Amino acid sequence: MSVELISVLIAVLAVGATLAGLIVSGQRALRAELAAQRTELTALRHDFTAELATLRQEVNTEFAAQRQGITELREQIAELRERMAHLAGLLDGLREAIAFQRGAA
């Protein structure tokens, strides 16, 4: 082998080793960045899950209060119906008493 061939082979090997080093360091940097992104995404997911659970609890509490309010309204309406029925009965009785007195007179 000639000196020129050996020097070209050494230059090619040096360039190959340099490129391999650059590729490996680039891959390492990408892995580190991906790991940081995963960590950040996991933290965001946990925060979102906690916030969602809080909102779900608030909505459930509000719905329970709404249901309680609706139940109270229904009870009040039922009470008013009973009172109206009682008043209707009294008015019917009063009407009959007035009609009876006019008929007797």
pLDDT tens-digit map of 10-61: 999 999 999 999 999 999 999 999 999 999 999 999 999 999 999 999 999 9
Q: What is this structure's pTM?
A: 0.54
Q: What is the pLDDT, as a whole number, of residue 28? A: 95
Per DSSP, 2 falls in state -
Helix residue spans in the chain (DSSP H): 3-104
- C-alpha 83/C-alpha 87 separation (Å) is 6
> pLDDT above 70 covers what percent of the chain?
97
Is residue 1's pLDDT more than 80? no
